[in-house]
Amino acid sequence: MSLYEKIKDKIYVHLEEAANLARVKGQLAYDELPPFVLEEPRERQLGDLATNLAMILTKQCRKAPRDIANIILENMELTDTWIAKGEIAGPGFINFHLDSSWLTGVIPEVLLLEDKYGSVDIGKGQKLQVEFVSANPTGLLHMGNARGAALGDSLAAILTMAGYDVSREFYINDAGNQIHNFALSLEARYLQQLGHDVPFPEAGYHGEDLIKTVRMIIEKDGDKYISMEEELRRESLVRQALEEKLQDIKSTLEDFGIFYDEWFSEQTLHDSGYVRDTTSELEKKGYIYEKEGALWLKSTLLGDEKDEVLIRSNGVPTYFAADIAYHRHKFHRGFHKVINIWGADHHGHVARMKGSMQALGYNPDSLQIILMQLVRLIQGGEVVKMSKRSGQYITLRELMDEVGKDAARFYFILRDPDSPVEFDLDLAKSQSADNPVYYVQYAHARLCSILRQATEQGYDTHINPDKKQLSLLSSAEERELLKKIADLPGEIATSAKMAEPHRLARYVLDLAALFHSFYNSQRVLIEDNDLRIARLGLVKSTKQVLANILGILGVSAPERM
RNA sequence: GCGCUCGUAGCUCAGCUGGAUAGAGCGUCUGACUACGAAUCAGAAGGCCAGGGGUUCGAAUCCCUUCGAGCGUACCA
C-alpha cells in the first residue's frame, strides 16, 4: 500500500470513529453509517482531501449538512493523521489540508521501487486471461483490430501491475464457414491468376492481399493444384494461405508492440471432440432440444432473446457452439477470470455467452466482455465503409506507416471503449506533430535532458534526498506534481478494477502537464545543494513514473526527440 | 418493430459507482526564449451537458419519455 493510501485509510477510519462517537454522545442519530467518499476535491485550493460524509447523513439525522459536518469535526481525532487543518465548505463538505511533509515521502518510494512503483496487489496472483483482436485469419488487420490490440494489450499490462497472473491470448478462427468461403475465394484467385476465366464467389473475400497470397503459392508450386481433385485443392490452398496470413498477423502485431502468450486454434477444439463434448454436457443439463433436424440451445432460459442453433441440420456445429466450447476450455484451464475484447457488433452475443457459462456451472461474472465501438474512418471528409468482404479498408500496417506506432496506440487508448472513434486519416497525418503522445514523450525527453546536463555539470545524479532536503519542495508546482505521482497506485487500482486503460492515458497527460508547468517555473540545476538534490529527486521520480506508464501503454519513452 | 450502445465547447474527446464554479487537446486571441529542450509555459474567449418530465439536500451522472446516430435481431462469424 502506498503512503497516500495509508494516509487516506487512516483518515477514513478516523471519520468513521468521529461519527460513531457523536452518535454515542447523542449528537447524531443514524442507524448505519452509509459508505462515503474521501477523495481529492476538484479545486486544489480547497484542500488535499474532502469527504461528503456529512451530506450523506442528512437524511438519517435530519439535520443540515453543515451542522453535521461541524459535529463530526468536533469529535474527530486529528493526531497522527497528517491533517493540518479541517474545515467545512460549500454545501457541507469537510475538507482536510494535510501537513506539507507527507507528500515528499513519495520520492524515496519511487526511487526505491523503480519500475515496480505503481504496483498494487488486488489480483493476489490469480490467473487471468485477456483475449483480444482474434481477427479472422482471412485477411489483413484493420483499424478496428488496431483499437482492440491497443486496448487489450494495455489492459493486460495494467492487470499485471495490479497483481494478476495475466495471459494474453489470440483465438484463431481457422474453422467453419468463413474458412470455406476463404477456400473458394482462394481457388478462384488461383485459377484466375493462371489464366482461367472463372467467376469470383459472391460472398468471397475481395481483398487484394488474397491475390498476393495466391501468387506466392504459384511461385512456389506452380500450377500443380489445377489437376488436383477439388476438395484436396482447396484444402492445400487454404492450409498454406492460413499459415501465411497468420504469420503476417503475428508479425504486424509484434511491430505494434504486442506479444501473445497463446495462439489458440478453433480447429483443435473440433479435432479433439471438445465441441461435441461441450454440446453433450449442455444436453445433460437439459439445455438442448432438437427441431427441424438441428440441435438448439435453450438460450432463452439463460437470458437470451431467442434460442440458438448449436449443430446445424447438416451436422456441422455453428460458430456459437465452438465459442461455448472455447470459453469452457478457458475456465477448464484454470483461469479465475476471463476478459474478452469484442467489437460492438458482437454485443448480441454477450448475454448468451455468459448464460452458457452459467449453464455449464461457471460463474458468469468471471467472464467479462468489454465491447468497443467500431472505428469509423474518415478520409477526404467522407466516411470510408470498412469491410473485409469488399476489400476496402486501411490496414494496421498502413496505419503504422503513416501515423506511427506510438501515436496510433496512444490515439486509441486515450478513448473510452464505449466511445465510437472517428479516425480522420488526413488529420492524423497532417497533425501528427500535435498528437498528444508527443507531449508526453517530450516531457520524458526533457527529464532525460536535465539529468544529462546535471552529469555534464558535474552533479551527482545518483542521489537519495533526505527528509530535510525534500522538505524544500514547497512550491505549488512541486506539490501538485508530487501529488500526482502519489496518485499512481490508486490510479492503477481503479483502472484495473474498472478495466479502463484510458484512465492511465489521461493520467499520464496530466502528469506531463504538471511537469512542464513545474519546469517553466523553477530551475533544477541550481547552486543551492539541498534544493538541487531535492529537485533532482523529483525529476528522477517523474521520469520513472512517465516511463512506467508509457510502458503499460505500449508507447516508447525516448531519451531524445 | 424489439434489443444494446451513444448524443457534453467550432472540432476530437474526458467527466457518468450522484457532489462544490462541467474539464483537456486542437482551432481562435494576448503574452513569455542572452535560464536545465518554445514539440513548452502563463492567460482570454468559447456550454440550455440533444429536448422534456421525475427521484433528492444536490443530477452531465440515476429513472421515465421524445428526438437523432451506430450496431444487433441468420441452421453468418
For A479-540, give the secondary structure using H, E and C: HHHHHHHHHHHHHHHHHHHHCCCHHHHHHHHHHHHHHHHHHHHCCCCCCCHHHHHHHHHHHH
The nucleotide lying nearest A59 (C-alpha to C1') is B57
Q: How far is the CA of A419 from the C1' of B5 (A)?
A: 9
Strands A262-265 and A337-343: unpaired
The nucleotide lying nearest A178 (C-alpha to C1') is B77
The residue behind cell 501515436 is A407
Beta-bridge mates of residue A39: A50
Give the pLDDT score at A333.
97
The nucleotide lying nearest A494 (C-alpha to C1') is B17
Which residues, other chains included, contact A476 with Cβ-Cβ below 8 Å and sequence gap of 6+?
none
Q: Please, how many CA atoms are within 13 Å of residue A238, restricted to the half-sphere of its CB?
A: 22
Give the pLDDT score at A30.
87
Proportion of chain A above pLDDT 90, given as a percent: 70
For A289, the grid coordinates are 432440444
Q: How far is the CA of A42 from the C1' of B52 (A)?
A: 31
| Segment A81-104 mean pLDDT | 87
Cα gap A182→A561, rounded to integer Å = 45
The nucleotide lying nearest A89 (C-alpha to C1') is B20
Give the pLDDT score at A387.
56
Cβ of A303 near strand B (distance < 7 A): no
Q: Which amino acid is at A336?
A: H
Cβ of A58 near strand B (distance < 7 A): yes
* Res. A427 pLDDT band, cuts 50 70 90: confident
For A494, the grid coordinates are 481503479
Highest mean pLDDT range out of A34-48, A92-106, A164-178?
A164-178
Cβ of A136 near strand B (distance < 7 A): yes
Q: How far is the CA of A535 from the C1' of B31 (A)?
A: 28
Beta-bridge mates of residue A85: A97
Give the pLDDT score at A392.
59
Q: How far is the CA of A282 from the C1' of B16 (A)?
A: 39
Residue A87: Cβ within 10 Å count = 14
Q: Hey, is A162 helix, strand or coil? A: coil
For A418, the grid coordinates are 464505449
The nucleotide lying nearest A348 (C-alpha to C1') is B72
* Nearest amino-acid residue to B2, taking CA and C1': A305
* Res. A452 pLDDT band, cuts 50 70 90: very high
Give the pLDDT score at A202.
79
Chain B, protein-covered positions (CB within 7 A): 2-7, 12-17, 19-21, 23-27, 32, 35-42, 56-58, 70-77
The nucleotide lying nearest A176 (C-alpha to C1') is B77
Beta-bridge mates of residue A127: A165
Closest CA to A166 of A122, A133, A117, A136: A122
Give the pLDDT score at A431.
61
Q: Mean pLDDT for chain A?
A: 91
| Segment A2-21 mean pLDDT | 87
Give the pLDDT score at A71.
92
Where do runs of H (alpha helix) occur along A96-175?
A: 106-113, 143-161
The C-alpha angle A532, A533, A534, rounded to 5 degrees, equals 90
Q: Can you list the positions of beta strands (E) in A150-261?
A: 165-172
Q: How far is the CA of A308 from the C1' of B62 (A)?
A: 34
For A160, the grid coordinates are 499485471
Cα gap A318→A309, rounded to integer Å = 7
Question: For the segment A180-219, what is each residue's pLDDT rounded down to a tens digit?
Answer: 889 999 999 999 999 999 999 877 888 888 999 999 999 9
pLDDT of residue A129 exceeding 70, the answer is: yes
Give the pLDDT score at A391.
52
Torsion angle of the four alpha carbons A445, A449, A455, A456, in this order, in degrees rounded to the nearest 10: 140
Cβ of A110 near strand B (distance < 7 A): no
For A268, the grid coordinates are 483443435
Give the pLDDT score at A406.
93
The nucleotide lying nearest A306 (C-alpha to C1') is B73
Give the pLDDT score at A8.
86
Give the pLDDT score at A145.
92
* Res. A388 pLDDT band, cuts 50 70 90: low
Q: Can you list the positions of beta strands (E) in A202-336?
A: 262-265, 288-291, 294-297, 308-311
pLDDT of residue A122 exceeding 80, the answer is: yes
pLDDT of residue A59 exceeding 90, the answer is: no
Which residue has better confidence, A193 or A305? A193
Which residues, other chains included, contact A259 with Cβ-Cβ below 8 Å and sequence gap of 6+?
A168, A253
Cα gap A42→A93, rounded to integer Å = 12
Q: How far is the CA of A517 from the C1' of B32 (A)?
A: 13
Q: How far is the CA of A251 from the C1' of B18 (A)?
A: 47
Cβ of A381 near strand B (distance < 7 A): no
pLDDT of residue A390 exceeding 60, the answer is: no
Cβ of A171 near strand B (distance < 7 A): no
* Nearest amino-acid residue to B72, taking CA and C1': A348
pLDDT of residue A410 exceeding 90, the answer is: yes
Residue A417: Cβ within 10 Å count = 23
Please check whether residue A36 is in contact with residue A142, taking contact to mean a CB–CB distance below 8 angstroms: no
Give the pLDDT score at A386.
59
The nucleotide lying nearest A415 (C-alpha to C1') is B13
Phi, psi for residue A414 in degrees, rounded to 5? -75, -15
Q: Please, how many CA atoms are within 13 Å of residue A195, restricted to the half-sphere of its CB?
A: 2
Cβ of A319 near strand B (distance < 7 A): yes
For A81, the grid coordinates are 493523521
Q: How far is CA A210 from CA A37, A204, A265, A345, A386, in A?
A: 57, 11, 21, 25, 17
| Chain A residues 422-461 within 7 Å (CB) of strand B | 422, 424, 431, 433-434, 436, 438-439, 442, 445-446, 448-450, 453
| Segment A289-316 mean pLDDT | 91
Closest CA to A390 of A202, A211, A206, A139: A206
pLDDT of residue A72 exceeding 90, the answer is: yes
Q: How many angstroms separate the first and last alpha carbons of chain A?
A: 35
For A118, the grid coordinates are 505503481
pLDDT of residue A378 exceeding 80, the answer is: no
Cα gap A375→A386, rounded to integer Å = 9
Cα gap A380→A348, rounded to integer Å = 33
Cβ of A135 near strand B (distance < 7 A): no
Cβ of A384 near strand B (distance < 7 A): no
- For chain A, domains (ranges, CATH) are 3-99 (3.30.1360.70), 132-259+373-430 (3.40.50.620), 272-359 (no CATH), 435-553 (1.10.730.10)
Q: How far is the CA of A94 from the C1' of B52 (A)?
A: 36
Residue A286 is given by DSSP the state T
How many whole angstroms from its chain centre is CA A239? Answer: 33
List, edge to edge, every strand of the sheet that includes A127-131: A262-265, A165-172, A127-131, A337-343, A367-372
The residue behind cell 519511487 is A110
Which residue has better confidence, A81 or A243? A243
Cβ of A383 near strand B (distance < 7 A): no
Cα gap A421→A381, rounded to integer Å = 15
